[in-house]
Chain A
């Protein structure tokens, strides 16, 4: 598992009560599985900005970038590259 996904799993594990976090697939929707609620996504954004030193624009707050571990990893890579 990549470092980014590992760190995000760690963030979720220590801030949200999730039973069987290991069973959460990398591609699973965090919203549909109610892993993160609206407050949770705001906290995720802060975590990503602080941890990966990126600035998340408000129009980048979309499921394609944030709603799964796979999406988050791809998004962070793109931000760092671009």
Chain B
């Protein structure tokens, strides 16, 4: 690829963001609000120390969820079920973690493994159904979301509940993890004072990103996955077994999905409660699209979405409707996805031209 094409490809998101800001400005003017003031407010508030910690903490599960979705995307499968996979994994892991007594690293690790295995199996059901029964994964993962949510609600109400002090009322939440099952915030290690807690599972998110990159771009299995995603017929002729890959991809995607809830479980709530955040599975799809399934791109996407969510909280106090942030998110996603496609096509035609020019010169 020629250098200028590489630069173009790299700057696409920047251009897309600029367009999005332009469109948002237009909307702000239409509703009679000062765009400069709005953006300044958001930026100032979004870059305070408190906000930065909050943005990082929000980004952790978003990013992991995006990676889980991206594993499926890479082989042309849509795992829409990260949502159900992670809440189920988190609940079971929380319960197992609450009854275990183990030394710290082992305790925390066991919780992670239980979550990954449960979520992986939940996703694996979709893989199995696709291979054996021809059920499209979009249908089965969506359905399993509902079933997963139902199981979680049932288990919380009837099996894993906690009794209140009088031992009479059932409280729908698991018992606290022992201290050995909790991850302390990074603040002490990094020497951050006077700021909210920075979730130490951010390290886990980085590892997930590295694992994803290594798996998809560096291993033979990843090669099979990508080849199947781009040309399933050629992949089959090359010896890749599509059925095996479908199940494997769903297991891996689900396994990663299992880690989505971990920052909140071991680093914040230390139990599964009804306050446990939901919706992260769907948000992950957005982030995967924004980040073009690229490990770094998705990290930036997760940070961007978290930044918008956080910084918009200041708007209401200044009489600017906070919903403008929702609109911005929508615009950003739309513009980014469209510009990626436009640039991708442009680069393809340029490549074809370059190659044919080269042949003409030769002959």
A, B assembled together? no
Which A positions have Cβ atoms within 8 angstroms of B?
Answer: none
